Amino acid sequence: MVPEPKIVDAALRACRRLNDFATTIRILEMVKYKAGRYKEIYPYVIQELRPTLNELGISTPEELDMDKL
């Protein structure tokens, strides 16, 4: 089960309050992992989170080229 975007949003904001960048990346990786074989879910979640990501200054693992490791 993939968490709803509003739950992920709250988690990212909590990580930002704690200034914990590593956990923000892990949360986004977890969402991608949980989406698994359903390829349309992860882009939807990122689309819904885009305003929050921009507001908090968070890059996705794909933007950091971490998905190629």
How many domains does the structure of the chain reveal? Answer: 1
Instruction: Indicate whether 39 belongs to any domain.
Output: yes
Instruction: Indicate whether 41 belongs to any domain.
Output: yes
pTM of the model: 0.88
Instruction: Indicate whether 26 belongs to any domain.
Output: yes
Distance CA 34, CA 12 (A): 17
Distance CA 24, CA 39 (A): 21
Residue 39: give the domain boundaries. 5-64
Closest alpha carbon to 13 in 43, 46, 55, 45: 55
In tens digits, the chain (69 residues) has pLDDT values of 899 999 999 999 999 999 999 999 999 999 999 998 898 999 999 999 999 999 999 999 899 888 775
Instruction: Indicate whether 69 belongs to any domain.
Output: no
- Here the CATH number for the domain that contains residue 29 is 1.25.40.40
